[in-house]
């Protein structure tokens, strides 16, 4: 056996080890990668000098770009925590605490971004001034800072005190003891030791995503008036379950409480599309509650973000570091709804009370309630809480460095507020709760969560478990919420059409498709049009290379159904899908009566251009695509046109419908852009200067779209950001020439 060994963990993720020199490198670290390493046997329980601990990596090779196919490539927080605490590299007197630090390897800018993201994940806000800037009174800020320092063993330490780093570009660099690494091209690195070499390629194929470490069964969830879906009871180390989280249904709308790793798989299993999420209530910024935020950005509209400013600023500061963007830019991705701590906030009929929860970072627990049948029905979500023993040990003993007794008592009084259903963190240790603190809690039903261990008999006497997908209904729904959803989509699709006219479309059956069912088959004439109301649909044409992920609000089979033509794509359910089934004849009569024929054809033609691109191919509803299609403008250019292309409005994104465009930076050809690619994002969308030059290489047709309109669509913004990252690393000029400020492709 060779001395340099490579193991494939999953697509785009590798393990490289040189046992002779004690080097174990994790190459790539997407969400939940630690769980994948555990399942592969690359992290196992062991003992060193009689002390229990784990094996694992001691170095991480970071991917060159932060996003691939819309998924984060570098989430080093939990792998680093595994090294520091579960391997023991930071624990006092632990035999693995030899002075060596976890090592981050890769592009210097990526390392810098990860260091800052890990720093904010460790500490959140790092001074009383930062805390006060969120509106917290000085006295409370002082208490919160004292708590933070207690958890941090008295000192806020910059990341470079905890971690080592090794910048790598194209030149050969020594990692340690004659083990070398060099970058061959984007996301491709070569390791060498003596006369052995291995290459790792962290690139994902275009339709590939990182898999979930645990399988989840599909569920067909009925929309209730007020209910809680238990979408996660595990923690960041549980290889069999998602991290602690919940889905709240209220008046037909869907809300998340936290957004942990692989949230897209959880939502898919529950039959919930990203476009169905109304908002997220966020507890804090640790990755097992935070890593799915970028998934929520993959929506065709901005999702509401609910949290007190104290939590929001802590989260956004970490997210901005992770994405390497300015904090102010995050407003492009979310609708911020700030909450007030300690009072009931009325959020469109759902009352919400955040309470401060002592933790290393700014954290709130939440209570939700609504009045029904003469009383309040309530749910409490207590993630990442402190045990009574730990918090009591922080009470001031006269030295002036502790927390007030009154703060301690108020915290536990709020923890024990009765609720119809309450989910509590029982992870134990220094920074998590324990079931025994709730043995006298009079809540009707207590769910024990945030643990990877089996429940003990004592814990089972205190609370219940809740398998994935279990629903607690607090107020049943006796109306037809899906009819209301269908009406909302149709009103958005056909603005100006009267309700009586739309009733003709609404008066049709709502049908359910099981996961994996073909809804419309390529090559067949389908006599029905479907309006997707819930779930996830994939649209496929393998020969044409088309793969789109569609969510609620999408109209399937519209144009070909109206024309009686064979479908050009196959539409297939990914999850349970519910859709309004409209006979094509009825739909055609509606279109003709309201003189919508020309509009439907024009919009369909323009939508087809967009949906055949990666930029617009996922999670954008038909009404949103229609808004874009209505404002698209077509321009034709003969070959070798440069000045004419440069005369295009810089505030409009350019999409190549046909032809080829050469993209230049100064005197250097950067790329040749083809059908389906875009250019001009820097000026049109990101409000920068236009710095590239463009020239048509053959007769070319360009569709332009207002950048202002695209800034309202988070998934488009995220796709453009990913494109920019890839171009910056693979073809941009050196940093000494200045930032291009624009993307293409």
pLDDT of 732 reads 45
Assess contact for 273 and 485: CB atoms under 8 A: no
pLDDT of 169 reads 85
φ, ψ dihedrals at 141, nearest 5°: -60, -40
Helices (H), 26-107: 33-39, 77-81
Lowest mean pLDDT among 53-62, 132-141, 614-623: 614-623
d(Cα 449, Cα 452) in Å, to the nearest integer?
9
Burial 610-648 (b: 16+ CB within 10 A, else e): bbbbbbbbbbbbbbbbbbbbeebeebebeeebeeebeeb
Q: Which conformational region is residue 56 in: left (phi greater than 0), alpha (psi within -120 to 50 degrees), or beta?
A: left
List of long-range contacts for 404-410, beta carbons under 8 Å, 24+ apart:
404/143, 407/143
DSSP calls for 622-634: HHHHHHHHHT-EE
Assess contact for 473 and 536: CB atoms under 8 A: no
Lowest mean pLDDT among 40-44, 423-427, 733-737: 733-737
Mean pLDDT of 325-340: 91
pLDDT score of 274 more than 70: yes
pLDDT of 1 reads 55
pLDDT over 90, % of the chain: 68
Burial classification of residue 568, based on how many CB atoms lie within 10 Å of its CB (0-12 exposed, 13-18 middle, 19 or more buried): middle
Global confidence as pTM: 0.92
What average pLDDT does the structure give for the chain? Answer: 90
pLDDT score of 740 more than 60: no
Cα distances (angstroms) measured from residue 676 to each of 207, 212, 524, 642, 716: 16, 30, 26, 19, 14
pLDDT score of 322 more than 80: yes
Give 336-355 pLDDT, tens digit per residue.
Answer: 999 999 999 999 889 999 99
d(Cα 420, Cα 139) in Å, to the nearest integer?
34
Confidence of residue 729 (pLDDT cuts 50, 70, 90): low
Q: Which helix (H) or strand (E) holds 13?
A: strand 13-18
Residues 6+ apart with CB under 8 A from 127: 145
pLDDT of 204 reads 93
pLDDT of 742 reads 38
pLDDT of 738 reads 33
Mean pLDDT of 332-337: 92
3-class state of residue 336 by DSSP? strand
The total of other beta-carbon atoms located within 10 Å of residue 88's CB is 20
pLDDT of 730 reads 52
Confidence of residue 494 (pLDDT cuts 50, 70, 90): confident
pLDDT score of 145 more than 70: yes
pLDDT of 2 reads 80
pLDDT over 70, % of the chain: 96
Assess contact for 661 and 673: CB atoms under 8 A: yes
Burial 525-543 (b: 16+ CB within 10 A, else e): ebebbbbbbbbbbbbbeee
φ, ψ dihedrals at 534, nearest 5°: -145, 160
pLDDT score of 433 more than 60: yes
Mean pLDDT of 208-216: 93
Lowest mean pLDDT among 46-60, 328-342, 562-576, 631-645: 631-645
pLDDT score of 501 more than 80: yes
pLDDT score of 83 more than 90: yes
Mean pLDDT of 427-454: 95
Select the more confidently predicted residue: 574 or 726.
574
DSSP calls for 117-168: HHHHHHHSS-SHHHHHTTT--HHHHHHHHHHHHHHTTT----HHHH-EEEE-
pLDDT of 306 reads 98
């Amino acid at each position: 056996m060779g001395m340099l060994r490579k193991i494939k963990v999953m697509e785009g993720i590798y393990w490289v080890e040189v046992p002779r020199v004690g080097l174990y490198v994790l190459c790539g670290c997407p969400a939940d990668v630690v769980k994948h390493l555990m399942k592969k046997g690359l992290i196992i329980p062991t003992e060193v000098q009689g002390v229990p601990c784990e094996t694992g990596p001691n170095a991480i090779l970071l991917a060159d770009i932060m996003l691939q196919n819309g998924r984060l490539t570098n989430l080093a927080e939990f792998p680093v925590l595994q090294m520091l605490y579960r391997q023991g590299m930071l624990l006092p007197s632990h035999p693995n605490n030899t002075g060596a630090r976890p090592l981050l390897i890769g592009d210097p800018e990526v390392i810098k971004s990860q260091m800052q993201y890990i720093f904010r994940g460790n500490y959140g806000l790092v001074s009383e001034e930062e805390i006060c800037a969120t509106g917290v009174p000085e006295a409370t800020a002082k208490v919160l800072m004292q708590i933070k320092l207690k958890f941090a063993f008295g000192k806020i330490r910059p990341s470079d005190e905890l971690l080592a780093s090794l910048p790598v570009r194209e030149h050969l660099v020594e990692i340690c003891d004659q083990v070398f690494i060099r970058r061959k091209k984007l996301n491709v690195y070569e390791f060498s030791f003596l006369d052995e070499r291995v290459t790792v390629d962290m690139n994902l194929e275009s339709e590939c995503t990182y898999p979930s470490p645990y399988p989840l069964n599909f569920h067909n969830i009925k929309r209730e008036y007020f209910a809680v879906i238990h979408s996660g009871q595990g923690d960041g180390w549980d290889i069999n379950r998602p991290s602690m989280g919940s889905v709240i249904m209220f008046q037909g709308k869907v809300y998340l409480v936290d957004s942990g790793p692989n949230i897209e798989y959880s939502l898919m299993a529950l039959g919930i599309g990203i476009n169905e999420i109304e908002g997220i209530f966020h507890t804090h910024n640790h990755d097992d509650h935070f890593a799915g935020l970028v998934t929520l950005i993959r929506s065709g509209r901005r999702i509401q973000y609910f949290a007190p400013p104290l939590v929001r600023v802590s989260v956004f500061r970490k997210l901005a570091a992770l994405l390497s963007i300015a904090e102010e830019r995050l407003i492009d991705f979310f609708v911020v709804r700030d909450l007030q701590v300690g009072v009931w906030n009325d959020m469109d009929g759902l009352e919400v009370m955040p309470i401060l929860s002592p933790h290393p970072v700014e954290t709130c627990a939440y209570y939700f309630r609504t009045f029904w049948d003469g009383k309040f029905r309530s749910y409490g979500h207590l993630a990442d809480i402190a045990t009574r023993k730990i918090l009591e040990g922080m009470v001031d003993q006269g030295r002036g460095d502790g927390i007030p007794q009154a703060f301690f008592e108020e915290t536990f009084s709020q923890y024990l507020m009765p609720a119809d259903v309450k989910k509590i963190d029982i992870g134990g240790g220094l920074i998590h709760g324990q079931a025994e603190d709730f043995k006298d809690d009079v809540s009707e039903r207590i769910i024990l969560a945030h643990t990877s261990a089996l429940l003990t008999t004592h814990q089972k006497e205190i609370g219940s478990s809740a398998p994935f997908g279990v629903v607690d209904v607090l107020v049943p729904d006796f109306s037809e919420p899906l009819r209301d959803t269908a009406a909302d989509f149709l009103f958005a699709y056909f603005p100006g059409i009267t309700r009586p006219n739309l009733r003709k479309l609404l008066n049709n059956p709502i049908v359910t498709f099981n996961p994996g069912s073909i809804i419309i088959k390529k090559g067949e004439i389908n006599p029905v049009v479907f309006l997707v109301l819930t779930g996830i649909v994939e649209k496929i044409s393998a020969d044409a290379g088309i793969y789109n992920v569609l969510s609620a609000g999408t109209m399937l089979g519209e144009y070909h159904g109206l024309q009686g033509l064979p479908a050009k794509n196959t539409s297939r359910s990914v999850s349970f899908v519910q859709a309004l089934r409209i006979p094509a004849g009825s739909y055609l009569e509606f279109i003709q009566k309201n003189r919508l024929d020309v509009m439907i054809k024009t919009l369909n033609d323009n939508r087809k251009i967009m949906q055949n691109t990666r930029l617009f191919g996922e999670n954008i509803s038909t009404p949103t695509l229609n808004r874009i299609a209505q404002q698209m403008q077509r321009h034709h250019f003969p070959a070798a046109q440069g000045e004419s292309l440069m005369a295009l409005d810089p505030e409009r994104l350019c999409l190549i419908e046909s032809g080829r465009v050469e993209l230049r930076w100064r005197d250097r050809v950067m790329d040749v852009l083809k059908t389906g690619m875009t250019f001009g994002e820097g000026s049109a969308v990101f409000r920068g200067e236009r710095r590239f030059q463009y020239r048509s290489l053959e007769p070319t047709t360009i569709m332009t779209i207002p950048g202002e309109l695209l800034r309202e669509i988070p998934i488009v913004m995220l796709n453009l950001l990913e494109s920019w990252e890839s171009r910056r690393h693979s073809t941009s000029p050196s940093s000494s020439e200045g930032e291009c400020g624009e993307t293409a492709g």
